[in-house]
Amino acid sequence: AAGVIQSPRHLIKEKRETATLKCYPIPRHDTVYWYQQGPGQDPQFLISFYEKMQSDKGSIPDRFSAQQFSDYHSELNMSSLELGDSALYFCASSLRGQGGPDTQYFGPGTRLTVL
């Protein structure tokens, strides 16, 4: 079965640079979630989108922005990168509409390293 696709899988950036992470949800899934997992930490919710509209927002820095496109893929844009942004970034998707089970399935993650 098709899974959530994230690209790139690894990304190395310098401080103050910009990064863009991409997420392609499972086909037919209508909701996308972004999570950040720091070293030795549990995943923390950043933001979610349902049918291309932002549906919830967590502790996402103002330097970060995200959107969901007409084909349901999502991008997380991160500017003015800081050392503390180094983490594993997960995208998850679920089927929420039409009485879907709304269970979140995770992609493999993008490991971002800020030097």
Partner 1 sequence: AQTVTQSQPEMSVQEAETVTLSCTYDTSESDYYLFWYKQPPSRQMILVIRQEAYKQQNATENRFSVNFQKAAKSFSLKISDSQLGDAAMYFCAYRSGNQGGKLIFGQGTELSVKP
- Contacting positions for partner 1 (CB under 8 A): 31, 33, 35, 42-45, 48, 50, 55-56, 58, 88, 90, 92, 94, 96, 102-106, 108-109, 111
What is the closest distance, in whole angstroms, from the C-beta atom of residue 16 to partner 1 in the complex? 27
Q: Which is nearer to partner 1, 7 or 79 (CB)?
A: 7
> What minimum distance in Å lies between the beta carbon of 99 and partner 1?
9
CB of 100 to partner 1, least distance (A): 8
**Triad 87, 44, 71: Cα angle to 5°:** 85
Minimum CB distance to partner 1 smaller for 49 or for 114: 49
Q: Burial-class residue 71 by CB neighbours within 10 Å (0-12, 13-18, 19+).
A: exposed
